[in-house]
A and B are shown apart, each in its own frame.
Chain A
Amino acid sequence: MMMDPYNMTLILLVALATFAMRAVGAVVMARVKLAPVSAAAFEAMPVAVLTAVVAPAALTQGLPEAIAGATAVFVGLRAPMAVVIVVAMATVVAMRHVMG
């Protein structure tokens, strides 16, 4: 096992860039007092960001993923997360198999 100095520097620089992105939002927001409208916008941030992350994976990858996504919504209303994961994965695999 070896560590090339150039590779090590590069990895640490990428790590620094990643950390900067993660830290800047939290550190700035801890010092900011929000007007009501911006507070409302921030209340919606978790839903908005999470939806934006997951939408392409569920909607643009084909019918198996879309069906599995809808199944996950339905099962997620009642069942615990572990069940939802297993059912969604099984649905994707089964649908890919069925639809070739």
Chain B
Amino acid sequence: MGIRAQEFSAGAIAILPVLVATMPIALLFGALAVAKGLSPLEVWLMSATVYAGALQFVAIDQWADPAPLGLLVFTALVVNVRHVLMGASIGRSMAGFSGPARYAAMFVLTDEGWAFAERRVRSGNLTPAYYFGIGVSMWLSWTLFSLLGAIIGRGLGYPSTYGFNFAFSAVFICILVGFWSDWRTGAVLLASGGVSALVYLAVPGAWYILAGAFAGVGVAAILHAETGNQNPDGVMPS
């Protein structure tokens, strides 16, 4: 097997637990979307081109006949603001990506795929093949199973009954544990988690991610300014 094929399968294998956890969510999305009046083909088109789990559920929730165009586009921008931060962060580790590959990589950017890519950055080198091993398998799985859900329809049961919605939290926590380096990581965690949870409770919408992220990044910048000499490589050396 060539090095590219090896990297590609390494990415696809790493993301496998997430694929398993996503399957029932994708099935549910397809079933809900059909119940709201979309045809299976439209469900597939949305999963294939929008390709954003959280946003798709919000969009389907607001779907009507005719669907509110301005509201949905605005919602897409707001719900996905977090991807500006994720893209900006992972974009710094994409020196080996060609221009078109960079755009393709951003097209398949998801919270989970991004977290796995950042983990790869820390443990060595993020190659395009590894990244697309994650991205392509997630895209295939999401589109396939949401189409399947649309065809099978209702009667699938709700995944929260089985704890599937918490699977993603478990994945993120697991990756966060691997990101720990020293007390400064703890300070960023506390600031980001505390502010995010408070804003989530106080402000409707998806602003809590931005608020928490900026709080954490702000603390990192302050700590760097105060302790920078002891740690010239940054707050969390990789």
> Interface residues, chain A, CB within 8 Å of chain B?
1-4, 6-8, 10-15, 17-30, 36-60, 65, 68-69, 72-73, 76-77, 81-82, 84-85, 87-90, 92-93, 96
Residues of B within 8 A of A52 (CB): 82, 192-193, 195-196, 208-213, 215-216
> Interface residues of B, CB < 8 Å — how many?
99
B140 within 8 A of A: no
Number of residue pairs spanning A and B whose beta carbons lie under 8 angstroms apart: 300
Given contacts A13-B73, A23-B87, A25-B88, contact A45 B213 (CB under 8 A): yes
A1 touching B220, Cβ below 8 Å:
no
- Contact residues in B for A50 (Cβ distance below 8 Å): 115, 118, 172, 175-176, 179
By Cβ-Cβ distance, the 3 closest A-B pairs, closest first, are A48-B216, A52-B212, A26-B91
The answer to whether B25 has its CB under 8 Å from any CB of chain A is no
User: What residues of B have a CB within 8 angstroms of the CB of A30 in the complex?
Assistant: 91-92, 94, 102
Write the nearest CB–CB distance from B42 to chain A, whole angstroms.
5
Contact of A29 among B92, B107, B189 (CB under 8 A): B92
Taking A14-B76, A45-B88, A60-B200 as contacts, is the C-beta distance between A51 and B216 under 8 angstroms?
yes
Contact of B91 with A2 in the complex, beta carbons under 8 Å: no
Is A36 a contact partner of B167 (Cβ separation < 8 A)?
no
Is B144 an interface residue, CB under 8 A from the partner?
no
Majority SS at the chain B contact face: helix
Q: Is B3 an interface residue (CB 8 A)?
A: no
In the complex, A47 Cα to B84 Cα: how many Å? 15
- CA gap between A12 and B194 in the complex, in Å: 36
Q: What are 12 pairs between A and B in contact, CB < 8 Å?
A: A17-B80, A21-B81, A22-B87, A43-B236, A48-B213, A50-B118, A53-B111, A68-B163, A72-B173, A82-B17, A85-B171, A87-B170
Cβ contact of A11, chosen from B40, B46, B66, B193, cutoff 8 A? B46
Give which listed residue, B17, B38, B102, contacts A7 with CB less than 8 A: B38
Q: Mark B204-238, 1 if CB is under 8 A from A, else 0.
A: 00001111111111111101110010000011111
Known: A25-B89, A52-B212. 5 other contacts (CB 8 A): A12-B49, A28-B88, A42-B89, A48-B192, A92-B163
Query: How near does chain A come to B211, taking the closest CB pair, in angstroms?
Result: 7
Enumerate chain B interface residues (CB-CB to A < 8 A): 16-17, 21, 38-42, 45-46, 49-52, 55, 59, 66-67, 69, 72-73, 76-77, 80-92, 94, 102-103, 105-107, 109, 111, 115, 118, 161-164, 166-179, 185, 188-189, 191-197, 200-201, 208-221, 223-225, 228, 234-238
Kindly identify which residue among A10, A20, A43, A51 contacts B234, using a CB–CB cutoff of 8 Å: A43
Tell me which of B73, B174, B238 contacts A76 (CB under 8 A): B174
Measured between beta carbons, the chain B residues less than 8 angstroms from A18 are: 50-52, 55, 76, 80, 83
- Give the CA-CA distance A89 to B201 in the complex, in Å: 24
Whether A14 contacts B171 by the Cβ 8 Å rule is no
Residue in contact with B85 in the complex, picked from A25, A39, A55, A56, CB distance below 8 Å: A25
Given contacts A47-B188, A51-B193, A82-B17, contact A22 B107 (CB under 8 A): yes
Residues of B within 8 A of A13 (CB): 69, 72-73
Q: Is the CB of B41 within 8 A of A2?
A: yes
